[in-house]
């Protein structure tokens, strides 16, 4: 409709946002940062938008004004009183919601009605995609199921004593985190279980939000079965990559699998470009790439973030996505093609086996170091209890009358004998190459400490039995040597 130049401007109260965050497959509300409530002013030459603007917009102070000649391809949805207003060059758009049906009809009558051929083609493509999404994407249950499992495990860890804001590595290891010395010495199941554990409420909140945003779309594009396979392959790939990069790391979280989800999304957009409306393709591609690049750069800048897991999951998701992508049509989805699932599993599984081989090989370069770290962790679980028992026995209790011989017997039976048994794996394990590595130095220091405490206990027991001053002096000397070995370990632990 053309408005005569003499006509007065019309003003309408509108909304520039719904107050709800958009899903991954939905557009932002506009490209100008307009949000909340505002005004639309329509006159003979331009459309003026007044409202709060977020972010930085170069050269834009005051109300946003767009000439009528620059506007085309306006779309009106009567059911929601919503308008999608495009600029003719396709670079910008604004979504507005009228406050009433009467205002909506008046606005529609005043807006330019021209639609370009490119827009009509894209709109037709959108309609076909929406129809396919309604037929194929109405059922997606794997994503919410995975989120539910993650939340259930997190609650279980919380009840087990995990702090919501200060993560406990010990509890994470107990629940199945990817702790290299255990994962690569017989507990390979941790490669998968670790993807369902999280270090604190912030960790799980960010991951589940990213999973919901990406999984909601990717599961519908691929189908639930293929999406589940992609997710599991990416989770395992991320864990293997983490161990390959740092075999001693204690890693947990769904981020490797989530990167796999976004990798699969990029693969689908690359392989099935014709199935996605061009405007949607551009928007989703940009968002997915931005998420991946930002997350990887942020991860490299923060050493506590397991970026190797992210890269492994991303690559696995992309490769399996390329193999499993199929036309987004009812006919293509009706053909299950189980062979493709097997091909995807082999394409990811075989490289992962080769990557993990040096870590699990009995005589591999990492084997002795990993087994030492495993034995050290197992020893640590009993070492603290035995030291506390030693302190309890040797602490003077004025109201309890115990003979020296009774103390000696308790110290032997309750501390020395269990100490010798618990320390056997550390003392009998293969000696690490003396290459100056931290593991080799730690092994030597721990062995010195284990022997020093055993020697102190034996001499202390003897001094209690003999009451000889020379034995008491030897016990004091052994105690000083024990302190020296502990200091060496403390220094190495802080490296």
Domain assignments of the chain as residue spans, ordered by start: 10-115, 142-360, 367-493
DSSP H or E stretch at residue 16? none
Cα(113)–Cα(320) distance, rounded to whole angstroms?
Answer: 45
Q: Which fold, 367-493? A: A middle domain of Talin 1 (1.20.1420)
Alpha carbon distance 260, 295 (integer Å)? 13
Report the percent of the chain where pLDDT is more than 70: 94
Q: Encode pLDDT of 120-173 as tens digits.
A: 888 888 888 888 888 887 778 999 999 999 999 999 999 999 998 888 888 999
Q: How far is CA 466 from the centre of its chain?
A: 61
Instruction: Specify the length of the chain in residues.
Output: 495
Can you name the CATH fold of 142-360?
Rhomboid-like fold (1.20.1540)
Strand partners, 86: 72, 93
pLDDT tens-place string over residues 279-336? 788 888 988 999 999 999 988 988 889 999 999 999 999 999 999 999 988 888 888 8
Query: What is the spatial distance between Cα 302 and Cα 15, in angstroms, rounded to a whole number?
Result: 40
In the predicted structure, residue 392 carries a pLDDT above the cut 70: yes
The phi, psi pair for 84, rounded to 5°, reads -110, 110
HSE toward the beta carbon, residue 42, CA cutoff 13 A: 20
* Among the ranges given (19-23, 226-230, 410-414), the one the predictor scored with the smallest mean pLDDT: 19-23
pLDDT for 107 beyond 70: yes
10-115 CATH, one of 3.10.580.10, 3.30.930.10, 3.30.420.10, 2.30.29.30: 2.30.29.30
> How far is Cα 145 from Cα 313, in angstroms, rounded to an integer?
20
Domains 10-115 and 142-360 share a fold: no
The answer to pTM > 0.85 is: no
Q: Give rounded-to-5 percent helix, strand, coil for the chain.
A: 65, 10, 25
What is the per-residue pLDDT for 398? 52
pLDDT at 367: 85
Tell me: pLDDT of 25 over 50: no
**Helices marked H in 92-198:** 101-110, 117-136, 142-159, 169-175, 180-183, 190-193
The answer, yes or no, to whether residue 88 has pLDDT greater than 70, is yes
HSE (side-chain half, CA atoms, 13 Å) at 269: 23
Distance, in Å, from the CA atom of 415 to the CA atom of 419, rounded to the nearest integer, reads 6
Q: Which residues contact 463 (CB under 8 A, 6 or more apart)?
A: 471, 472, 474, 475
| pLDDT beyond 50 at 266 | yes
**Lowest-pLDDT choice from 14-23, 58-67, 359-368:** 14-23
Tokens for 51, please give them.
């409202």
What is the average pLDDT score of the chain? Answer: 89
């Amino acid at each position: 409709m053309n408005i005569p130049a003499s006509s007065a401007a019309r003003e309408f109260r509108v909304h520039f946002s719904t107050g709800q965050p958009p899903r991954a497959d939905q557009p932002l509300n506009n490209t100008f940062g307009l949000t909340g409530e505002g005004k639309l002013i329509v006159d003979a030459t331009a459309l003026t938008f007044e409202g709060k603007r977020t972010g930085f917009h170069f050269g834009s102070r005051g109300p946003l004004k767009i000439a009528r000649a620059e506007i085309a391809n306006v779309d009106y949805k009567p059911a929601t009183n919503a308008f999608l207003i495009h600029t003719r060059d396709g670079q910008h758009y604004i979504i507005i919601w009228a406050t009433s049906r009467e205002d909506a009809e008046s606005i529609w009558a005043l807006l330019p009605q021209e639609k370009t051929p490119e827009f009509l083609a894209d709109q037709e493509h959108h309609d076909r995609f929406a129809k396919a999404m309604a037929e194929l994407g109405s059922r997606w249950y794997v994503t919410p199921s995975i989120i539910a499992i993650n939340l259930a495990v997190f609650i279980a860890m919380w009840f087990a004593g995990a702090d919501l804001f200060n993560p406990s590595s010990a509890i994470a290891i107990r629940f199945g985190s990817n702790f290299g010395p255990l994962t690569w010495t017989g507990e390979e199941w941790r490669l998968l279980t670790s993807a369902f554990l999280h270090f604190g409420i912030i960790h799980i909140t960010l991951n589940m939000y990213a999973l919901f945003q990406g999984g909601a779309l990717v599961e519908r594009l691929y189908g639930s079965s293929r999406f589940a396979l992609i997710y599991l392959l990416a989770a395992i790939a991320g864990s293997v990559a983490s161990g390959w990069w740092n075999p001693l790391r204690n890693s947990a979280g769904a981020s490797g699998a989530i990167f796999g989800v976004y990798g699969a999304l990029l693969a689908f957009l690359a392989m099935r470009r014709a199935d996605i409306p061009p405007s949607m393709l551009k928007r989703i591609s940009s968002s997915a790439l931005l998420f991946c690049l930002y997350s990887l750069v942020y991860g490299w800048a923060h050493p506590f973030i397991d970026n190797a897991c992210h890269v492994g999951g991303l690559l696995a998701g992309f490769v399996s996505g390329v193999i499993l992508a199929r036309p987004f049509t009812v006919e293509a989805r009706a053909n299950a093609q189980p062979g493709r699932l097997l091909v995807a599993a082999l394409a990811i599984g075989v490289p992962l086996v080769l990557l993990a081989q040096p870590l699990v090989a009995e005589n591999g370069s990492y084997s002795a170091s990993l087994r030492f770290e495993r034995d050290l962790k197992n020893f640590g679980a009993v070492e603290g209890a035995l030291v506390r028992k030693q302190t309890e026995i040797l602490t003077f209790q004025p109201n309890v009358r115990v003979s020296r011989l009774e103390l000696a017997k308790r110290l032997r039976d309750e501390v020395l004998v269990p100490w010798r048994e618990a320390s056997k794996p550390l003392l009998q394990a293969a000696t690490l190459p003396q290459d100056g590595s931290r593991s080799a130095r730690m092994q030597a220091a721990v062995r010195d400490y284990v022997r020093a405490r055993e020697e102190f206990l034996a001499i202390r027991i003897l001094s209690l039995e003999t009451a000889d001053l020379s034995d008491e002096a030897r016990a004091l000397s052994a105690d000083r040597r024990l302190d020296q070995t502990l200091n060496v370990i403390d220094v190495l632990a802080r490296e």
